[in-house]
Structure 1
Amino acid sequence: MVRYAALLRGVNLGSHNRIGMADLRRIVTELGHEDVRTYLQSGNVVFGAADDADPARLADDIRRALADRSTVDVAVMVRTGPELAKLTGGNPYASGQPDEVKLLVAFLAEPPGSDRVAGLAVPGGETAEFRFADTGRDVYLHFPDGYGRSRFSNAYLEKRLGVASTTRNWKTVRALAELTTVD
């Protein structure tokens, strides 16, 4: 069995796309997954599935089940435990930034086209930095001046890259990597 993390885009941020974590665990369990756990209230669910499961298929199954069994219809990105471990070990900004609040990872639904990647730039006047991970589906983000007021947001990434995305802070990424580690 492999451990996976599913990251839901835009849940529990306001009055829209609200789902309780108990409901999320129930839905993912009903799909046949094992040892289902949630992390925080922001749409992170960790579970076990077959070694040969396709993460894109898992993401689609979870998205459809959420839409069918709740009022939530959002993009879902799935990563394996080894993928998350590699991400946490490969952050080019982690060693130079002691303030983890300024480090994030954008999880993309699929790799964007090379033309979109080449055209991605931080809006003028901002100090944010980014680097694509080897997977091509994840983007390391560094915000020396903080993320809260940056125009280089998740919505900006989605528009520029043409793919769905969800962003998690570094503490959450590290926690999900730990939760998906198989002992």
Structure 2
Amino acid sequence: MQTYVAFLRAVNVGGTGKLPMVELRAICERAGFGHVRTYVASGNVVFQSALPETKVKVTLERALEAYAGKPVGVMVRTGAELAAILEANPFSAAPPDRTVAIFLDAAPPADTLAKVSGSTTEEIALGKREIYVHYPEGIGRSKLKIAAARTGTARNMNTVAKLAEWTAE
């Protein structure tokens, strides 16, 4: 059994895409995943499955679409991948609540940094299937736009650290 973390995109943010975490847990359990736990109300779920990562993603996306009546984007990482993401954070000296990993399905395009707009004090670095961003003045004040992140979903490093801790249990 592999331990996975699934990050749902655009769930419980700004009054759209409401999904109670009790429902998310039930959806995951009905999909055959075990030891299901959710973390905060923004679509983070840790579970175990014998399925490979790609099958986990498809299974969860189909179940969520059946529930919501529309597609719900899901980014999936193994516990080991999440630990590596945390370890690779190039902004580890920055406050973790002002630093995010934007999870993507694939490697960020080579021209990602060239296509950034609205940047002021933000720092950006590319990971394997992530984009790291440090927002020194806070994410709420930022006008940063990263085209490659359009279909991804961001979590701050406090959340990443907690979920990495859960996957190691």
Equivalent residues in 2 for 1:87-98, closer than 5 Å: 87-95=85-93, 97=94
Quick one: structure 1 residues 162 and 20, their matched pair in 2 at CA, closer, same or farther if it must change by over 3 Å?
A: closer
Give 1:20's aligned residue: 20
User: Could you tell me which amino acid in structure 1 is paired with residue 67 of structure 2?
Assistant: R
Alignment partner of 1:75 out of 68, 73, 76: 73
Partner of 2:137: 145
Equivalent runs, 1:18-167 vs 2, <5 Å = 18-50=18-50, 53-71=51-69, 73-95=71-93, 97=94, 99-114=95-110, 116-117=111-112, 119-124=114-119, 126-133=120-127, 135=128, 137-152=129-144, 156-157=145-146, 160-161=147-148, 164-167=151-154
**Could you tell me the TM-score, scaled by structure 2's length?**
0.91
Amino acid at match of 2:121: T
Aligned CA distance change for structure 1 residues 84 and 113 (closer, same or farther; 3 Å) = same
Q: Which moved more, 1:3-12 or 1:58-67?
A: 58-67
Identity across the alignment (%): 36
Q: What's the RMSD between the two structures over aligned residues?
A: 1.8
Paired residue type of 2:166: L
Matches of 2:133 and 2:113, distance apart in 1: 16
What are structure 1's unaligned runs of at least 5 residues? none
Counterpart-to-counterpart distance in 2, 1:161 and 1:9 = 15
Distance 1:148 1:72 in 2: 28
SS state of the match for residue 63, structure 2? helix
TM-score, normalized by length of structure 1?
Answer: 0.84
Hey, what's the Cα distance between the residues in 2 that align with 1:73 and 1:123?
29
Judged with a 3 Å threshold, the aligned counterparts in structure 2 of structure 1 residues 132 and 16 are, in CA distance, closer, same or farther, namely: same
TM-superposed CA distance for 1:103, in Å, is: 1.0
* Distance change >3 Å, CA 20–CA 72, structure 1 → 2: farther
Cα contact 1:17–1:71 (8 A) shared by 2: no
Q: How far is the alpha carbon of 1:63 from its aligned partner?
A: 1.3
Q: Is the 8 A contact 1:110 1:163 kept in 2?
A: no
* Distance across 1 between alignment mates of 2:74 and 2:14: 18
CA shift at 1:122, angstroms? 5.0
Q: Distance in 2 between matches of 1:173 and 1:71?
A: 29
Q: 1:71 to 1:34 in 2, by over 3 A?
A: same
Aligned residue pair count: 169
